Amino acid sequence: TSKRDFYLGIYGALGIGQAIVTLFADLAPLIGCVYASITLHEFLLRGVLRSPMLFFDTTPVGRILARFAKDVETMDVVLPFGITDGVYCLFEVLGTLVVISVSTPIFVAVIVPIGFLYYFIQRFYVATSRQLKRLESVSRSPIYSHFGETITGVQAI
């Protein structure tokens, strides 16, 4: 029974170690993105405040506000979970590829062309996705502009 207890202790220590490593692996992107969000906001604010008056004449306030809101929201909400999920997925895929490649070496000859195909499809997707995000940003601008004008007009009411 002492041998069993020894192995159970090792098993428990490995479980606790995994829990601690997982905690830090999940916490690190969150903390990093908070600092990055603060830096991004300061950078954006500095850029907007130092812009010439022509910029404010040609750019609606709603578009500026929408840009701030979307960028900071992405840094605070979307990016940390995307990083965490991406890292986990990367290690799962790499582990799977290594296991399959070791057990079936001919798999390497098949996966290389598939990898190139995936790369070219991804390049097309990124360009399309970028255009869709621009359209979304432009469509949000009137809402923020109207909101800003409403807040400005509250004092007159």
pLDDT digits (tens, 9 = 90+) for 5-34: 999 999 999 999 999 999 998 899 989 988
Q: Among residues 87, 78, 85, 91, which one has the least CA distance to residue 33?
A: 78
Taking only the tens place, the pLDDT of each residue in 40-81 is 889 989 998 999 999 888 888 888 888 888 888 888 888 898
pLDDT at site 156:
67
Q: pLDDT of 141-155, one tens digit each?
A: 677 667 777 777 766
Query: Helix/strand/coil (H, E, C) string of the chain?
Result: CHHHHHHHHHHHHHHHHHHHHHHHHHHHHHHHHHHHHHHHHHHHHHHHHCCCHHHHHHCCHHHHHHHHHHHHHHHHHHHHHHHHHHHHHHHHHHHHHHHHHHHCCCHHHHHHHHHHHHHHHHHHHHHHHHHHHHHHHHHHHHHHHHHHHHHHHCCCC
Q: What is the pLDDT of residue 25?
A: 87
**Location of structure tokens 């621009």:** 134
Q: What is the mean pLDDT of the chain?
A: 87
- Per-residue pLDDT at 68: 85
Cα 94 vs. chain centroid, distance in angstroms? 21
CB 60 within 8 A of CB 147: no
pLDDT at 94: 93
For 101-144, write each residue's pLDDT tens digit.
999 999 999 998 999 999 999 998 998 988 888 888 777 767 76
